[in-house]
Amino acid sequence: MERFEYKVVVYDTTGFFGGKVEIDPLENELNLMGDDGWELVSCTSANQSYGSSRSLVCIFKRKIEE
C-alpha cells in the first residue's frame, strides 16, 4: 500500500489590507516544493474580512519511499 506524508504551508498576502498575492514568488516557492517531491493537493484562502485574503493555506503531499 502506498503511504504519504503531508505538509501545510501558509503564504501571507501583501498590501496594506492584505489580499494581494504576489504570483512570481508564490510560483517560485511552489516549484521548489515540487522539486523536493511535494505535490500541491489543495490551496485555499484564509479570509480576513470583506472578501480580502489574509493568507493562502496550501497542503502538499509526497509519497514515502519504503
> One digit per residue, pLDDT tens: the chain, 66 residues?
899 999 999 988 877 666 778 889 999 999 999 999 999 999 988 876 666 678 889 999 999 987
Q: Which of 35, 29, 32, 26 is nearest to 53 (CA)?
A: 26
Give the three-state DSSP class for 35: helix
Which pTM value belongs to this model? Answer: 0.81
Domains contained in the chain, number: 1
pLDDT at position 16 is 67
* CA angle in degrees (0–180, nearest 5) for 52-60-47: 15
Q: Which of 11, 13, 12, 7 is nearest to 39 (CA)?
A: 7
18: domain range? 4-63
pLDDT at position 45 is 84
Dihedrals φ, ψ of 32, to 5°?
A: -65, -40
Rounded to whole angstroms, the Cα distance separating 55 from 3 reads 29
pLDDT at position 49 is 66
